[in-house]
Structures are given as C-alpha cells and as structure tokens.
Amino acid sequence: MDIANYIYLSVLLFTIGAIGVVIRRNAIVVFMCIELMLNAANLAFVTFSRVHGNLSGQVASFFTMVVAACEVVVGLAIIVTIYRSRRSASVDDASLLKR
C-alpha cells in the first residue's frame, strides 16, 4: 500500500470537517468539525515526517495539538458565556449584521 493513502485520508477528513463547519448549526458541533480539520492536518504532518525521515513534522504536529487545546479552551468558554446570556447555542442566532 502506498504511503500516499494517508495523505488522501487526510484530505478527505479535512474536507468533511470543512463542510461540517458550514452545515451544522450547533456551535459546539461546529467547533468539533474544526478539531477534525486540525487532526487531519496532523495526520499529514506525521506522514510526511515519516517520508522525510525527520522528526520536524512530528514536532509541528505537537505544536498544533497544543494550540488546538488552547483554542478549544477559550472557544468553549466563549460558547458557555454566550449560552448563559442568550440561552441558545445556535450559530444562526448571531445574524444581526444582515443587510
């Protein structure tokens, strides 16, 4: 099996995550799709690290994980705050900037 298959899988997962952001209405699910995209990128990193025989890819992946964690923390805190004042977690409710 060709190692490139990992890359294809990564692309596929990334696309699914991108569409999920656009389709789902629950803010938390949207967040989860973003996490899926990040994970797909991590997979690509690791695969290329294997290809090049170099651990830089894995280090990059590591940093991505750290940053993703921070992002999740802050993002979920924001969602909770918004939920507390608006009682709704739907992204469609934030539509005041319409024409």
Partner 1 sequence: MTTSTNLVYLISLPLFSAALLLLLGRIADKWGHIFATLVSASVFVIGVLEFFAMQGRDGEARAATQKIFEWISVGTFQVDASLLLDQLSICFVLLISGVGTLIHIYSIAYMSHDRDRRRFFAYLNLFIAAMLLLVLGDSYLNLYVGWEGVGLASYLLIGFWNQKPAYATAAKKAFIANRVGDLGLSLAIMIAFTQFGTVTFAGVKEGASGASAGALTAIGAMLLLAAAGKSAQFPLQSWLGDAMAGPTPVSALIHAATMVTAGVYLITRSNFIFDASPTAQLMVVIVGAITLLFGALIGTAKDDIKKALAASTMSQIGYMILATGLGPVGYAFAIMHLLTHGFFKAGMFLGAGSVMHGMNDEVNMRRYGAIGKVMPITAATFGLGYLAILGVPPFAGFYSKDKIIETAFNAGGIEGVLLGGATLLGAAITAFYMTRVIVLTFTGTKRWDENAHPHESPFLMWAPMAVLAIGSVTSGFLLSSGSALVNWLQPVVNEHNERHSEEFLPPLVVSTMALVVVAIGVAFAILKYRTVPVIAPLDVSLFTKAARKDLYQDSFNEAVLMRPGQKLTAVLVTTDYKVIDGLVRSVGWVIQTMSSALRSIQNGYVRSYALIMVLGVLALVTAIWMVTL
Partner 2 sequence: MVNLALEVGKTLQPEAIMFWILAPLAVVSALGMLFVKKAVHSALLLAWVMITLAIFYIAQGALFLGIVQVIVYTGAVMMLFLFILMLVGVDSSDSLVENIRGQRIASIIAAIGLGGLIISLVNRATLGVETIGLQDANSAGNVQGIAEELFTKYVWAFEVVSALLITAALGAMVLAHSTATKSRTAQRDQSIARFRGASLATAAGLPGSGVYARHNAVDVPGLLPDGTPAPTSVSATLEARGDMLTTKPFELEVKEVEED
Residue ranges binding partner 2 (CB under 8 A): 1-9, 11-20, 22-26, 28-29, 31-33, 35-36, 39, 42-43, 46-47, 49-56, 58-59, 61-63, 65-74, 76-81, 83-84, 89-90, 92
Per-residue contact flags (x/-) with partner 1 for residues 5 to 34, judged by CB under 8 A: -------------xx-xxx-x---------
CA-CA distance, 33 to 46, in Å (whole number)?
20
Name the binder of 20 from partner 1, partner 2, none, CB < 5-8 A by kind. Answer: partner 2
Q: Dihedral, CA atoms, 89, 91, 92, 93, nearest 10 degrees?
A: 50
Positions in 63-92 near partner 1 (CB under 8 A): 91-92
Q: What angle do CA 84, 88, 94 make, to 5 degrees?
A: 105
- What radius of gyration, in Å, describes the C-alpha atoms of the chain? 17
Name the binder of 11 from partner 1, partner 2, none, CB < 5-8 A by kind. Answer: partner 2
| Phi–psi pair at 44, nearest 5 degrees | -65, -40
Name the binder of 86 from partner 1, partner 2, none, CB < 5-8 A by kind. Answer: none
